[in-house]
Amino acid sequence: MNSHGQYEQQVVWAVVGTSIGPLLLAATRDGLVNVVFHATDAVRDRTLDRLASRLGGEPVEAPDSPLLAEPIRQMTAYFAGERRDFELPLDWSLISGFNRQVLRELASGVPYGAVVGYGDLAGRVGQPGAAQAVGVAMGSNPLPVVVPCHRVVERDGGIGGFGGGLETKRKLLALEGVLPEPLF
């Protein structure tokens, strides 16, 4: 326990280079807890401050940690085109309620190479008409790529928004064969 009487969750992290730029991966003993795009020094520092605030304790850089070994291996294989599904324990403690429900459905029900509309995903969790709320859930996804919010698109065929930026979403969808590779 810390001085405030809260249980501290040890968080280990590492930055991994990928074809979409550096990703920060953070894990607890319960599983992968956070994936963060564009892990520059400033983004990393904000993320680590947020993780310390939310989970207690000071996150520790530990790229060789057993807690990160499998997430790093699977992420590397995914970006090399050698893996389609992530089989990792996930720590869902950074998200709750409707957002968690939507993200769990997305993780289990929208496979590699497929897309789903915001409204369709809302219907899958019993909330037809909650397409905007699904968009909010996608924007608060603490585990992008692994929980594939890039696979959620607009009903009319538009790509929709994306917390990692539209170019990153396009690259992920191209990697999965949903969109053609960019010409340049």
What distance, in Å, lies between the first and last C-alpha atoms of the chain?
Answer: 52
Supply φ then ψ for residue 174, to 5 degrees: -70, -40
Candidate list 125, 149, 152, 153, residue with the active-site label? 149
**Active site annotation includes 149:** yes
Q: What kind and span of H or E run contains 107?
A: helix 97-109
d(CA 56, CA 155) in angstroms, rounded, equals 40
For the annotated catalytic residues, the residue numbers are 149
